[in-house]
Amino acid sequence: MIAVLRVLLFAEAALVIGVAVWFLIELLTAEPASITSAIAIFVIVVIAAIFVTAIAIGALRDRPWIRGASVTWQIVQIAVAVGCFQGLYARPDVGWALLLPSLAVIVLLLVPGVRVAFTHELERPAY
């Protein structure tokens, strides 16, 4: 279960890094309607990539702080997925691609074995 969680977190990190690279290429080759907004969104995507990569590396090192950070990221991802299901430019396929891994990560973080694996040594139960 922990291995599946780590794979999902690293896959999310790789995809967000890919989005950042794609966005940079688009920023350099296409002319945005607002350069200020485009740069701001790019900075937000880079911060998200750093955050998700830190979570994935923390999961690899069994750090307890990744539980809260990972749930936070999954909630953000669920919010984006909900936005993908509705509106003028609705993309349900993208919505499902964001929603299903997010729900899987949240469920995996709540599995007792995974939860115990990501606690401090002093807080672990004796069983």
Q: pLDDT tens digits, the chain, 127 residues: what are they?
A: 999 999 999 999 999 999 999 999 999 999 999 999 999 999 999 999 999 999 999 999 999 999 999 999 999 999 999 999 998 889 999 999 999 999 999 999 999 989 888 887 665 565 5
- DSSP output for 7-27: HHHHHHHHHHHHHHHHHHHHH
Supply the pLDDT for residue 118: 87
Q: Which two tokens stand for residue 12?
A: 């999310």
CA torsion sign for 89, 43, 24, 102 is negative
* 118, 62 Cβ separation under 8 angstroms: yes
**Residue whose entry in the numeric block shows the structure tokens 């936005």:** 83
